[in-house]
Amino acid sequence: MKKEISRCSWTKNDPIYIRYHDFEWGVPVFDDKNLFENLTLEIFQAGLNWLLILKKREEFKRCFDNFNINKIAKYSELEINKLMQEKEIVRNKLKILATINNAKQTLKIQKEFESFNKYLWSFNNYKIIKNKYKHIKDIPSQTILSKKICKDLKKRGFKFVGPKIIYAFMQSSGMVNDHIVTCFKYNESNKTKKGIENRDYL
């Protein structure tokens, strides 16, 4: 008899959630484009269901030039109008404008810190925060650190980056590992990942 795999309960046996949980959530992301994608998707998720965003993810990639930061930063009124006509994504003009604005601010950060990656991970002292929660209900929606990052991003001109959105982004980008202790991903992450301790990823 095949042993049942223990996962975080929020997956709810949904295949899309399970795939995301098993291969992305809590896995460290160090590429600027992917970090920007995660942040943007978390912003569009605000007030909506994360499963909805995951289902529309490929369309978001298509509509936003595969989250090419340089291209998005140059979007004009023409691109904005096109995005507002795209039925397969979330057509929220304020969030679309925020995405364009955030791309511009990300380019500034890249010039100052060499990469968006270095800037973000510096808040963690370049280490993964691994929590030991026993139940999903114990996981916070925001933390002191997410508030700190939020404050700094806002100071730099980012939009739609509240502390809850930032904490969700930290989870999705692996800056924080919030898999509960009974989840197989929690135990899997106990293995040392090459490149994290010695900062090879920077």
Which uninterrupted H or E stretch holds 36? helix 32-45
d(CA 201, CA 194): 9
Active-site choice (10, 20, 133, 201): 20
| 139-194: pLDDT as tens digits | 999 999 999 999 999 999 999 999 999 999 999 999 999 999 999 999 876 554 43
* CA separation for the pair 72, 4 (Å, rounded): 43
- Residue 3 pLDDT grade (very low, low, confident, very high; cuts 50, 70, 90): low
pLDDT attached to residue 190: 57
In the chain, the domains with their CATH numbers are 12-188 (1.10.340.30)
Do residues 107 and 69 touch, judged by C-beta distance below 8 A? Answer: yes
Average pLDDT over residues 8-21: 96
59 flagged as catalytic: no
Secondary structure class of 127 (helix, strand, coil): coil
Considering the candidates 50, 126, 133, 201, report the single residue annotated as catalytic.
Answer: 50
Question: Do residues 8 and 179 touch, judged by C-beta distance below 8 A?
Answer: yes
Catalytic residue among 42, 121, 167, 186: 42
List, in order, residues 6 or more apart from 163 with CB less than 8 Å away. Answer: 142, 143, 146, 147, 150
Place of tokens 């920007």: 36
| CA separation for the pair 100, 35 (Å, rounded) | 15
Asked if the model's pLDDT at residue 198 lies above 50, the reply is no
Closest residue by Cα to residue 199 from 115, 137, 140, 86: 115
Task: Report the pLDDT value the prediction gives residue 18, as an integer from 0 to 100.
Answer: 97
Q: Is 42 a catalytic site residue?
A: yes
Per residue in 111-144, pLDDT (tens digit) is 999 999 999 999 999 999 999 999 999 999 999 9
